[in-house]
Amino acid sequence: MDLSYILAPVQAEMALVEERLRSVTGVSYVRFAQLLEHALKGTGKRLRPALTLLCGRFYPCNRDSLVSIATAMELLHTATLIHDDAIDNSEVRRGEATLNSMWGEKSAILVGDYLFAKSAELAASVGSIRVVTLYAHTLMAICSGEIDQDLTPRGQGHSQRRYFQRISNKTASLFAAATELGGLLGQAPEGALGALRSYGHNLGIAFQIVDDILDFIGEGEEMGKPVGSDLMQGTLTLPAILLLEREPRDNPVLAVLADRDKPANLRRAIEMVRNSSIIPECYRVAEGYCSRAQKALRRLPHNPVSGLLSDLLDYIVERHK
C-alpha cells in the first residue's frame, strides 16, 4: 500500500501546510530560528495534518481555515515529540539528533512550548470556540498521558488497561482531533462528527500498537531510533506487557527495567518477543481497532475520500507485517 497514493488528493494543501511550517521559523533571533528549523524538518509522514485535510473534504469548508488547522495539528504533534525526547533524554528521533541532545533540555522544552503556543494561535485564528475547546481538551489529554507515564514507577502499572489508557491519551487523542476538526470546519452534523472522531481514535490506537510492534521487530536505520528503545526508557508497550503476562518469572523485561546498563537483557527480551506468538497477537489487536474505524467510516458519506481513509487503515496494519 502506497501512502503517497492515499494522500494524493490533498497534496496541494499539504504544500501549503509545509509553507506555513517554514514560516514559523521566521523569527528575528538567528539561533532560535536554527532550533525551529531543526524541529520542523520535513522528515515525518505528516499524517495528522493530512487526516485533517482529507476529513475536511466530506463537507464544504474554507480552504485557508483547513490549512491553518492542519498546520496546527502538525505543530502540536511536533511539540509533544520534543517534550517527550527531553523527558526521556532521547538522543535520536527519525534518524536525526534530538534538540535536547544538541542544545540541551532547557532549550528543547522552550522550543516545544513555543510550538504549542504557535499551534494554539493557528487554532484560534479560524474563529471557532468549539475548535479552540477541542484543541484544549486534546492538549490536556496528551499531557495527562505523559504525566501518567512519567509518574508511574518503573516496572509498575504494566497492565493492558493502563497501556490502552495511556496511548488513548498520548496518541489517539491527537488523531481523533485531527479527523474531527476537519468535520467541524465544514459544519458537519453531530453524527458525522462522532463518526470522524471514532475513526481517528481507533486509527490512532492501531497506529501506536504497530509502532510498538516495530520497536521490537523493525530495523534501527528504518525507524530512526534504536530497536527496543521504548523498553530501555522504561516504557512498557503491548508486546512487553504480553511477555510479562506469559512469563511472570525470570523475565528479561523486568531485568531491563531493573538495570538498563546490561544490553544482554534487552537483546533477550527482543528475542523472546520475536520468537513467540506475541507479534501476530499484537497485529490482531491492531486489526480489531481498524475494524472499529471501518465501522465508523460507514456512518459517513460514501465518496472517494472514504475509500482512501479505508485504504489508510490497511496501510497502517501492513507495515512490516
Asked if 226 and 232 touch (Cβ cutoff 8 Å), the reply is yes
Instruction: Say whether pLDDT at 320 is over 70.
Output: no
Average pLDDT taken over every residue of the chain? 92
| pLDDT recorded at residue 36 | 95
Q: What is the dihedral of CA 261, 267, 270, 275, to 10 degrees?
A: -150
Strand partners, 97: 92
Nearest residue to 67 via CA among 49, 55, 80: 49
C-alpha distances (whole Å) from 208 to each of 14, 104, 150, 239 are 23, 28, 18, 12
**pLDDT confidence band for 220 (50 / 70 / 90):** low
The better pLDDT of the pair 260, 50 is held by: 50
Q: Which helix (H) or strand (E) holds 97?
A: strand 96-97
- pLDDT tens-place string over residues 244-283: 998 877 889 988 888 777 788 899 999 999 999 999 999 9
Domains along the chain with CATH numbers = 3-318 (1.10.600.10)
